[in-house]
Amino acid sequence: MTTTTPAHTPMIAQYLHIKRDHPEVLLFYRMGDFYELFFDDAKRASMLLDITLTQRGKSGGQTIPMAGIPYHSAEGYLARLVAAGESVAICEQIGEPGASKGPMERRVVRIVTPGTLHDEALLDARRDNLLAAIAPHQQTWGLAWLELSSGRFSVLEVEGEAEMLAELTRLSPAELIIPESMALPHELAQHRGLRRQGEWLFDLESATRTLCQQFEVNDLRGFGCAHLNAALTAAGVLIDYARDTQRTALPHVSAIGVENRDDAVVIDAASRRNLEIDANLSGSTDNTLASVVDTCTTAMGSRLLKRWLNRPLRQREIVSGRHAGVALLGLDAAYMPLRETLAAVGDMERILARVALYSARPRDLARLRDALATLPALERDLNAVEHGSALDALRVHIRPYPDMADTLERAIIDNPPVVLRDGGVIRDGFDSDLDEHRGMAENAGEYLIRLETRERERTGLANLKVGYNRVHGYFIELPRAQAREAPADYIRRQTLKNAERFIIPELKEFEDKALSARSRALAREKHLYEQLLETLNAELGALQATSQALAELDVLCTFAERAEALDWVRPTLVESTGLAIHAGRHPVVEQVSANPFVPNDTALRHDQHMLVITGPNMGGKSTYMRQTALIALLAHCGSFVPADAAEIGPLDRIFTRIGSSDDLAGGRSTFMVEMTETANILHNATGQSLVLMDEIGRGTSTFDGLSLAWASAEHLANVKALTLFATHYFEMTALPEHREGVANIHLTATEHGERIVFMHRIEAGAASQSYGLQVAQLAGVPPQVIRHAREKLTALEQRDNQENSQGASDEATPGVTSPQQDDLFAQSPHPVIEALGNLQMDDISPRQALALLYEWQGRL
């Protein structure tokens, strides 16, 4: 006897058919007012979203695990799933109920992935949300990235894995597409949004074809990227993926930008982390450079500002133009009226992307209407600012769009609903056909009142009511006690517990007309809305250029506001290599510190390109080093800087080796991480690099560490990199005697009894001591431990003085005072060892030697 598996129900069969095409993502399957998930998707969603997992009977012999969420609150659930790295296919009902014998027709209308978000509710307004792809080709890495919510699309090629990782750290994509067989560096292995794609997709010819089709061109030479084979391969894969997930042609992605690494000051991943540009060492945004600088009035300005901070430019003409623009905006506080008006612009950039994708909601169009209304005032106030800066290029695009502004003003009501579904978006008077349909539908109320009055008089039934609901339409309702007195022309429609509902031919005829009018009004309104989107898309390119110009104006106004509020000055860009900063301040520490910040000078030039910094822990060495780097970075972004004056020469890279942490995931100790970062600096630093080196060598034994620190400093001195080299190895202070262009400076401190007061002031020369015990005392180390440490320190100093008086020296490394690598905290020899040392081997017999061995064994 054979058994057959029961067939799946038509609805589950449809679900499984759609799910087969989207096996890797969660499927939101629309059923009425809910999105349902079944089988494994339901189990996973219930765990991730903490929603109830139920069962829906059986289909095909299987119980059906099921979970659901209301469609009107889906955005909140989507946001949580995307934050967890999940992707979700949205499957909508597209057919009409009853139009087919089987289940209503459904299809996937888009796939929501971490890197392809454009819904306002799913995005962080002030951060880019990037989709990226990488394509390796021998030692060259092609990198492409797209912000779907704005249409910005860029490519870059770099040499080597480290350079690729540095760029990915800068971009921080939400989703990263890689070839299926690519071996991942451990830094990327835990990336939540990692997507592996088939090798066959990474094909240059296919990618080029995809890009030409996207931009409607015959070749890519006009974009300046035709020779970038690896980057174009990545770009083609990325566009295919974005189009597939969005189920649209991405009309707002109409060009591709090429980044040249030589145009920017390169900052590697470790240096970017140490400088805390827009994320601090714990991963939050508190007390970062961006948190101090970013007071932009628009979200799109805030995103652009972070891009500028993360990619300081070497193109002096552009940077100088920005400085000039900030200076002009600062005259008579010209930035103030501009900022007040910009506050009403909103996120025009992302609204336009949703317009292009035909996913803009009514409130998006209302905000765009309000943004367009600000343009005449912005144009007027910007033209009042003197010419001759980066502002000149912005004036071309910041202009009114009177016809479009008028159309949106006439079309969209002041406060439209969130969605178009039930209408009520288009103003009365905008379209005569819509007004006619609405009039017929809205006059229903008056007719129903008249009908109710007439029927009460005709029937003599005082409790008769005329009503409407969405299920049964219009009806006449009578209490159950009076229902038997209903006239013969009353046709029973519905029986309730305490009432009966009826219909009459006249009311049925009116119902058909009224509901038809309401349906026609809604259809007309949706048609008009689509026409508005088409009208806007016809001007999309110009509008996008305007939004980009507004974002840049916002950033320059913010720089001007920060300069005035924080007393920052315009840096002078000079052609000679070096930095000359007078009374520089750390831009973040100055704002968050409860105490007045102590400013300090920095002078790095061709004849003094390295400063060896000594001084106490907590004295401010790291703060001084970081402030120098951040001042240089701000200057190369086009911002004013926290100093009394600053001359900034050209830089190609900023390196930092500061702080300590291990890399457990990568199997690297703290010292290994330190040496890896040091190796990167030593291999890549040039005479135009700014290098910050803090406590090199402290993770190993004293003389190993000192030797590594000395050799590293000598190498950087030979390269003539602009270097700040902080150390607690006082032997390093002898380096200026052996290398030209090296000088000593130190952070000052004073003692009061056994306590220390940090002055945080830079002075020439080497520090006299490190004050380690005083700092330990400040940190709360128990008093008895401090006392014992002082005793030990005294003993060590006495021993060191005795060794020095006996002429101990190190010939191999200048400045190192002892060739020994003793255990500085060695204990007295064990008695057995002392006895063995005193034993006269020639004066004892074998029997005595054996007896001594037994005795010593017992004493160990």
Measured CA to CA, the distance from residue 156 to residue 704 in angstroms comes to 40
The span from the CA of 853 to the CA of 850, in Å, is 5
- Evaluate whether 576 touches 605 at the Cβ level (below 8 Å): yes
Neighbours of 735 (CB within 10 A): 22
> Rg of the chain's alpha carbons, rounded to an integer?
37
Q: Which helix (H) or strand (E) holds 482?
A: helix 480-483
Give the Å distances, CA to CA, from 15 to 57, 86, 393, 394: 15, 20, 54, 52
Cβ atoms of 723 and 693 closer than 8 Å: yes
CB-based contact 165:149 (threshold 8 Å): no
CA dist., res. 516 & res. 437, Å (int): 9
In which element (H, E) is residue 377 found?
helix 362-383
Q: Is 617 annotated as a binding residue?
A: yes
d(CA 741, CA 722): 10
Query: Is residue 703 within a helix (H) or strand (E), and if so which, with residue range?
Result: helix 702-719
| Alpha carbon of residue 634 to chain centroid | 20
- Two tokens at 304? 């652009």
Cβ-count burial of 399 within 10 angstroms (0-12 exposed, 13-18 middle, 19+ buried)? middle
Beta bridge partners, 756, equal 751
Q: Hunting for tokens 């290599």 — which residue is that? A: 577
- Angle subtended at Cα 109 by Cα 104 and Cα 115, rounded to the nearest 5 degrees: 150
Cα separation, 320 vs 817, whole angstroms: 50
759 is in an annotated binding site: no
The 600-604 sheet, strands edge to edge: 572-573, 645-648, 579-584, 600-604
Check: CB of residue 505 under 8 Å from CB of residue 513: no
Q: How many CB atoms lie within 10 A of CB 209?
A: 12
| Alpha helix stretches (DSSP H) within 247-334 | 269-275, 289-293, 299-310, 316-330
Q: Is 622 annotated as a binding residue?
A: yes
Give the span between the Cα atoms of 316 and 324, in whole angstroms: 12
Pairing of strands 54-59, 34-38: unpaired
Strand 54-59 versus strand 62-70 pairing type: antiparallel
Report the number of secondary-structure helices (H) and strands (E) in the chain.
29, 27
Q: How many Cβ atoms sit within 10 Å of the Cβ of residue 454?
A: 12
Cα distances (angstroms) measured from residue 420 to each of 346, 368, 369, 853: 21, 16, 17, 97
* Dist. CA 718–CA 734, nearest whole Å: 16
Task: Give the C-alpha separation, 232 to 207, whole Å.
Answer: 7
Contact predicate 618/656, CB 8 Å: no
Tokens 């006690």 locate to 481
H/E segment holding residue 732: none
Q: How far apart are CA 539 and CA 570, in angstroms?
A: 38
| 8 A C-beta contact, residue 235 and residue 228 | no
Which amino acid is present at 779? A
- For residue 618, say whether it is annotated as part of any ligand binding site: yes
Residues 6 or more apart whose Cβ sits within 8 Å of residue 429? 410, 435
- Known binding residues: 615-622
Binding residues for ATP: 615-622
